[in-house]
Amino acid sequence: MEKQTMIENLGIHFLEVGKGKIVATMPVDERTIQPFGYLHGGASVALAETVASYGAAQLIDLEKEVCFGLEINANHIRAKQSGQVIATAEVLHQGKSTMVWDVKIRNEEDKLICVSRCTIAIMPKK
């Protein structure tokens, strides 16, 4: 499912895929940094929406439904220049047509890099 997608292009790797919780890593390298050499805020947001959407997909009937990011916000707390970041997404609200996910992105020392909240829309497949 990840081949030839942003997931593959950004080097996102899933460590834990469960019902209501997702953990994934993303490298801080030439694919994810901005011109000054720091992790790009947009890469953090892409990681946050990826883990939230992937988590939502675990909670729906993929034969009948599809999920999309509806709204996302992010607060960038700390800069990072190398290594990797670890995102943990947990479902806060699981409704029939929307879900709300809390995402925390941390460095290898468990220090907070970014916090995000993502609302996911659940739609019937056409």
User: What positions carry a catalytic annotation?
Assistant: 49
Q: Is residue 31 within 8 Å of residue 47, measured between CB atoms? A: no
Distances in Å between the Cα of 125 and the Cα atoms of 12, 50, 68, 86, 94 are 26, 20, 12, 31, 18
| DSSP conformation class of 69 | E
Identify whether the C-beta of residue 104 lies closer than 8 Å to the C-beta of residue 77.
no
Q: What is the rounded CA–CA span in Å between residue 69 and residue 95?
A: 14
Nearest to 31 by CA among 6, 59, 4, 68: 6
Q: Which two tokens stand for residue 21?
A: 């919780």
